Structure 1
Amino acid sequence: MKIKLLASASALLWFSQAILHFLLMMGAPLGRFVFGGVYTAFPLWLRPVNLALFLLWTFFGYSYLLYGGVLKSSWQEKTLARIIQFVTVFLGLAACFNFFVSNSFFEKYVTGSITFLAFLISLSLLYNHKQKSPT
């Protein structure tokens, strides 16, 4: 049950980020939360990046639901574990970028906090999932 809750929480955070990029793609003035806050509303030429991130973040959220057993999966456990491990490393790097490199207040403290929380939950999910699995 704990693994399902952790996976669901991670997926929810990924889906919230996916929704943010969908809204940015649609022209919402939420650009201060991403890309260093350079754009308030993303220019048309940059919106395909938001589409790509929307799709990628949705895939990551879906992967967490599969890994945690919230949804049934035909994927191999090893494949899902590698995806989650990769995403966890990405989250750690993204949190460092958000906190220490970004000049945007909103990206630093709002997006950075969400990213750091997702990183901690992901680490906990990996640890608990490993404890559950026979070695």
Structure 2
Amino acid sequence: MLAYDYPILGLFWSMMIFFLWFAWIMLVFRVIMDVFRNHEMSGIAKAFWLIFVIIVPWFGVLIYLLANGSDMAKRSIEQQQAAQDEFASYVRQTAGPVTGSADEITKLAGLRDSGVITDEEFAAQKAKLLA
């Protein structure tokens, strides 16, 4: 009975309106976040943009996108690049220096030459590293 009262095209348009509304809300929040992220803009300019976007949202967001759309993309890319660099730095710091088999064998040879380990221990450790 419900399907008869609410045809498939009506369902399609309802879903379309919902998704467009959701995309609009995301765009408004993205513009507001970009206003705060823009370090080149003064505090008064940020306040005027926010008031403009809040009071006249459709027109304010459209004008902001026309005026600052390419700068928004650049700031977003810079923020993502900074986050990637910070993550890579954290991984390098946490993982520590990478040492290969050649470095380990060189250290073992130094220990053998100084008399800390014997030739048999050196040969066993070398075989273990090369295996």
* TM-score bin, normalised by smaller chain: 0.3 to 0.5
Greater RCO, 1 or 2 (C-alpha within 8 Å, sep 6+) = 1
- Select the structure of larger CA radius of gyration: 2
